[in-house]
Amino acid sequence: MRIGDLAERAGVSVRSLRYYEEQGLLTSTRSTSGQRHYTDYEVERVTFIQRLYAAGLSSRTIAALLPCVDAPSEENSDAALERMGEERDRLTTHITELLQTRDTLDKVMASARAYREQFEAGIETGAEARAVSA
C-alpha cells in the first residue's frame, strides 16, 4: 500500500509517517519511481507507535523499545521493561515538579487576591472618609 493509504488506515498524517521513517521507527520499500510502499503489518506498527507516543514516550525511547517487537526475546523484553520503568520514573518526577509549580502558583494567586481585597477596602475607606469630612 502507498503512504496515503497507510495514513488513512492508521489514522495518522502522511507527515507523521515520514517522520517515523526518518526516526527509524518505520520502514518501507521503494518503487522504481521512489514511492514508499508498506504492508498490512505497518498499520499495526503505526498504531503501536501511536500508543507509545500517547504514553508520553519520545521517538528515541520508542526506537529503543522496538527491538522487543521486532525480535522478541527475554533479553529484549527485559530491556524494554527497564526502559519503560525509567520513563515512568521520569514522568513521576515531572508530575511532582508540576504539582509543586501549581502549589506555588496557588500561593501567588492567594497573595494577589489578598492584595486586591486590601486595595479595594482602602478605596472604600477613603471614599467614606472624604464623605464624612465634607
H/E run at residue 129:
helix 74-133
pLDDT at 131: 57
pLDDT at 122: 79
Distance CA 118, CA 10 (A): 58
pLDDT at 34: 87
Cα three-residue angle 80-73-10, rounded to 5 degrees: 60
pLDDT at 120: 85
pLDDT at 127: 57
112 C-beta neighbours (distance < 10 Å), count: 10
Contact 37, 31 (CB under 8 A): yes
pLDDT below 70 — which residues of the chain?
Answer: 124-134
pLDDT at 128: 60
pLDDT at 124: 67
Pull the grid cell for residue 33.
519511481
Cα three-residue angle 78-76-10, rounded to 5 degrees: 110
pLDDT at 134: 55
79 C-beta neighbours (distance < 10 Å), count: 15
pLDDT at 5: 95
pLDDT at 67: 87
